Chain A
Amino acid sequence: MLWRLSVSNIRKSLRDYAVYFFTLIIGVSVFYLFNAIESQTTYLIVSEDTRDMIKLVNRMLSGVSVFVAVVLGLLIVYASRFLMKRRNREFALYLTLGMGKGEISAILLIETVMIGAGSLIVGMLIGIGLSQVTSAMVASLFDADMTSFKFTVSKGAIIKTVIYFGIMYLVVMVFNTFMISKCRLIDLMYSGKRSEKLRLKNPVVCVIVFAVSLFILIYAYWYVGWNTDNVGERGIILAIIAGCVCTFFIFWSVSGLMLKILMSVKGLYYRGLNTFTFRQLSSKVNTVVFSMTVICLMLFVTICTLCGAFTIRNSLNSNLEKCCPADYQIYTSLIQYNEENESEEYIITDIGKLLEECGYDTDDYFEKTVEVYTYEDKSYDIEAFFGEYLSELTDRYLYDSTESKEIIMTLGDYNRLRELYGFDKLTMADDEYIELCNVKDIRNERNIPLENGHEITVFGHKLRPHSGECIDTCVMLSNMPQEIGVTIIPDSAADESCISASRFTANFNTQDKQKISGYLEEIDWDRIYNKLREKNNTAFSDDGNYGVSLSLRSKYSLAQENIGVKAMVTFLGLYLGIVFLITSGAILALRSLSDSADSIGRYEMLRKLGTEEREINASLFRQTGLFFLLPLVLAVIHSVFGMKFAYYFLNILGTTDIVLSMTMTGAIILLIFGGYFVITYLCSRSMIKENKE
């Protein structure tokens, strides 16, 4: 008997709350999908570095999974509590018929087990199916070749999903049993009859609360968006807390005020079904202020995470092309202490020769090599570059100090490098200089003295800017804009005794990834390092006072670094984004649908009054649409300022394609959140449809 009741209950609620079961299934499949990445990646043929990256990505995903499980768990508890409340009168009937609380608990237990098992099985099947499709995406993210299609089923992910969701459903069961044991028959019986009183809020209080919240929110926006330089860790936390609290109070006050404002516009309020629509919406919003807040904040996090992830991803792709114009670069800068004249002096290294000494014939590996020097003039520092325009230099985190020396290079050296990079040669007069910089914010600042024709003195030569702006390019190979400034001077102005560093740059004689990876292993960095140390043991002395600056950069390994970051942000963004979106969509859908179920009588009455079906549907569409739109609108406003803050830091990456990232984010939100809206609207519509016998 209990079994039959459970089955028929599920069948009945399946129809009305299909969205909820749908969400459970998506939840399970997404959970499986992201946890199965680990086993998918084991089949990929990748380099050692990428393998480490994959490990890191998987560790991160499994960490995030715990958080995701908590979010989904809360959704399930929320939803089942909500659905249970709606069944109070049904339980009252059971109790009045003499059924014990234990038996009711048993009914719920059977239901939960069936729903749990059903959603797990269906979700897992969908997850396994989807993971076959996404494995190609995973492979391309890790830049691995899919040698052959392999049907993979991740046992680990299955077990993990079953355990995590098992725990969630167990919590729900315990919770349900607890709720049933606590409730009293009298409350259950009258729970449906107690007409929902409209808690009318004092409009004056609403206006005040709204104004105060708005003020604090605008201040917080300004604080993170325009005062970013001075925002400390504490400031950020305070701004976030203020944002959350204000979000709640804005919904609280808006739900109270919205109707009052609409009512004052009589022409709008008393037109067609508007009175009904606004009243319905207002009472709906009034009861869900807290959920609205949570949803709004989740959407805010989703937008920022997705947008940030896409920005990083897109920037990394374009940055590598832009910031790494050659294949291989070794940089050395050695300082040794000269005891005789008690001064520090630079040692000049011929890196090409060093390689030969290590036993490497550069012709074996490289098609073309260029070796250049950079110079340092003790009196030419950032302060000297800016001169009277130093005040324009805002206190940026990227400068260590205004006294750090500027990097100098001769035009001849730089042109040889440009040739290797595949750029045109530059020309300038003998009393001119050119400035290179590819970090956007710094470039803008450096442009100020250049625009004003600010003269600099390098090695005793007075030089004026060749052009009013920096050239947006780099000397150093990198996977993001990192060249904060190089001054190109005429060859005649250089002082050979001031060479501070050597840079060996080369292109490999092959494009083949496999071969390049082999070359990189062959040219043993340790051997080069030891050789250099052996030759310059004074500079490498252990007291650590003297500078040894060495680096090896290759396009290949820079790309590998990118792969890891790209995979990490893509997975993280999509994982959290999807879970947050389905959670908020499900809560709104659940609320909307239950509201429609409660309003069937009202629509019936509207029909009797002669309202056309078209108008009823339009009203329902507006109610549902505005209900979904309200948290989204505030979340978007939050995000504008949140992203402004984030971009301040992402700028280091040289973000250019904000529009693309926003479009991609918008598309995902439209797809998932919009999908929930459409499903909710269609289900509601069929629910309130005239029952024609």
Chain B
Amino acid sequence: MELLSIRNIEKYYGSKSSLTKAIDDLSFEVQSGEFTAIMGASGSGKTTLLNCISTIDRVTAGHILLEGEDITALKGRELGAFRRDKLGFIFQDFNLLDTLTAYENIALALTIQRVSAGEIEKRVKEVAEQLQITDVLEKYPYQMSGGQKQRVASARAIVTRPKLVLADEPTGALDSKSAGLLLERFDYLNRECGATIMMVTHDSYTASYSGRVLFIKDGRLFDELRRGDDSRKQFFDRIISVVALLGGEQ
């Protein structure tokens, strides 16, 4: 089922005299249950794309449809409701509230939706098990490792059962072991729980955990890879070759 549809979007920055095209006529679709990675060098427009999908930023032209609803037309309170009910966010720097425990950080996403306290407890415990963070639930962010923090942030993102999970360089601040653990969890959430994940990264290893990689260069779609039946290693090698091509043209 088609979940997300990006149709000819453009995003310009700056004034008329010095116009920067961050996104230049980009179109693609994401199916429900897909784990998509978006790759590209710094300044390629991948974070801008994510910001536009998450309604944090507005497109200059074009349309973004989620479940057939045009989110570029949303305004004011609809925007908040959209982010709250449809999206889950995972950031590079975790963005956990340092005054709250892990449990409360995860619960916060639900309390904003006015879920009852009893239901909150059930769902937080469930998602904590899926992300293997049950033993850190009562800890504060400063008492956790980076990997744990990112898994707590991921729990917060999926606990509301969003249509789409957006991850912006989720492994960017993690060491490779923690990154591996996190990505395994993403894979688990995608396969076992049917979560649709869209992840921005510049790291080929991270991207190799996904099922589909979109390469962006200068605001345009440069290439697209699907994992198919490849092993992760084989997929990784294919990604590396495209990245080399991407870099080689520079």
Contact = CB atoms under 8 A, between A and B. Distances in A.
B99 A610 contact: no
Contacts of B85: 610
A280 B99 contact: yes
A611 B116 CA distance: 17
A279 interface: yes
A609 B111 contact: no
A279 B95 contact: no
Contact of B81 (A280, A607, A612): A612
B104 A279 contact: yes
Interface string B134-160: 000000111000000000000010000
Nearest to A195: B142
A196 B142 CA distance: 9
B111 A275 contact: yes
A266 interface: yes
A198 B140 contact: yes
B80 A613 contact: yes
Nearest to A601: B95
Interface residues of B, number: 34
Contacts of A272: 111-112, 114
Contacts of B121: 266
Interface string A271-309: 111111001101100000000000000000000000000
A279 B97 contact: yes
A580 B112 CA distance: 40
Given A196-B98, A271-B111, A272-B114, A610 B140 contact: no
A610 B82 contact: yes
B7 interface: no
A609 B109 contact: yes
B246 interface: no
A544 interface: no
B245 to A, nearest CB: 34
Contact of A610 (B87, B95, B97, B116): B87
Nearest to A198: B140
Contacts of A607: 80, 83
A276 B100 CA distance: 7
B125 to A, nearest CB: 14
With a 10 A CB-CB cut-off, give which of A270, A601, A606, A614 has the most chain B CB atoms: A270
Nearest to A614: B77
Interface in B83-101: 83-85, 87, 89, 91, 95, 97-100
B50 to A, nearest CB: 11
A609 B99 contact: no
Nearest to B119: A270
B108 A609 contact: yes
B55 to A, nearest CB: 9
A609 B83 contact: yes
Given A270-B107, A283-B99, A609 B117 contact: no
Contacts of A274: 111
Interface string B2-23: 0000000000000000000000
A196 B109 CA distance: 23
A33 to B, nearest CB: 42
B117 A611 contact: no
Contacts of A269: 117
Given A195-B142, A197-B142, A267-B117, A609 B98 contact: no
Interface in A585-632: 601-602, 605-615
Contacts of A613: 77, 80
Contact of B95 (A196, A283, A605): A605
Contacts of B116: 267
Contacts of B207: none
B54 interface: yes
Nearest to B81: A610
Given A195-B98, A608-B83, A275 B104 contact: yes
A159 B2 CA distance: 79
B200 to A, nearest CB: 15
Nearest to B162: A610
Given A195-B98, A269-B117, A609 B140 contact: no
B14 to A, nearest CB: 11
Contacts of B111: 270-275
Contact of A608 (B56, B104, B142): B56
Interface in A229-272: 266-267, 269-272
Contacts of B156: 609
A276 B108 contact: yes
Contacts of A608: 54, 56, 83, 89, 91, 95
A335 B121 CA distance: 91
B189 interface: no
Given A195-B142, A609-B112, A611-B112, A275 B107 contact: yes
B120 A270 contact: yes
Nearest to B93: A601
With a 10 A CB-CB cut-off, give which of A195, A270, A282, A610 has the most chain B CB atoms: A610
A196 B99 CA distance: 9
Contacts of B81: 610, 612
Contacts of B83: 607-610
Nearest to B13: A693
B167 to A, nearest CB: 13
A611 B84 contact: yes
Nearest to A604: B95
B97 A276 contact: yes
A267 B107 CA distance: 12
A274 B100 CA distance: 11
A602 B117 contact: no
Contacts of B99: 198, 276, 279-280, 282-283, 602
Interface of B: 54, 56, 77, 80-85, 87, 89, 91, 95, 97-100, 104, 107-112, 114, 116-118, 120-121, 140-142, 156
28 contacts: A195-B141, A198-B99, A266-B121, A267-B117, A270-B107, A271-B111, A273-B112, A275-B107, A276-B99, A282-B99, A601-B95, A606-B112, A607-B83, A608-B54, A608-B89, A608-B91, A609-B83, A609-B84, A610-B80, A610-B81, A610-B85, A610-B87, A611-B80, A612-B77, A612-B80, A612-B81, A613-B80, A615-B112
Given A269-B117, A613-B77, 20 more contacts: A197-B142, A198-B99, A266-B118, A272-B112, A275-B100, A276-B99, A276-B108, A280-B99, A282-B99, A601-B95, A605-B95, A605-B97, A609-B109, A609-B156, A610-B84, A610-B87, A611-B80, A611-B112, A612-B77, A615-B112
